[in-house]
Amino acid sequence: MLIGFDLLDRQILDRDGEPVGKVDDVELALDTDGTPYVAALLTGQQALGDRIGGGLGRWIADIARRLAPDRDRGPIRIPYVLVAELTSAVNLSVRREVLPDPPLETWLRDHLIARIPGATDAT
Residue 123: pLDDT over 60 = no
Residue type, 71: R
Residue 74 has φ and ψ, to the nearest 5°, of 85, -175
DSSP-based three-state secondary structure for 26: strand
pLDDT at 100: 80
pLDDT at 72: 67
Q: Which of 3-12, 43-52, 78-87 has the highest mean pLDDT?
A: 78-87
Q: Residue 7's Cα: distance from chain center in Å? A: 12
**Would you list the domain boundaries of the chain?**
3-121
Q: Which of 21-30, 48-57, 106-115 has the highest mean pLDDT?
A: 21-30
Which tops the pLDDT comparison, 39 or 51?
39
Q: In angstroms, rounded to a whole number, what is the distance separating the alpha carbons of residues 25 and 46?
A: 10
pLDDT in tens, 50-95: 888 899 988 988 888 887 767 667 788 999 999 999 999 999 999 9
Rounded to 5°, the CA angle 65-80-39 comes to 75
Half-sphere exposure of 24 (CA within 13 A, CB side): 22
Cα Dmax for the chain? 58
> Is residue 3 very low, low, confident or very high in pLDDT (cuts 50, 70, 90)?
confident
Fold type of domain 3-121: SH3 type barrels. (2.30.30)
- CA distance to 66, 78, 86, per residue, from 5 (Å): 31, 19, 12
Query: What's the predicted TM-score (pTM) here?
Result: 0.77
pLDDT at 122: 58
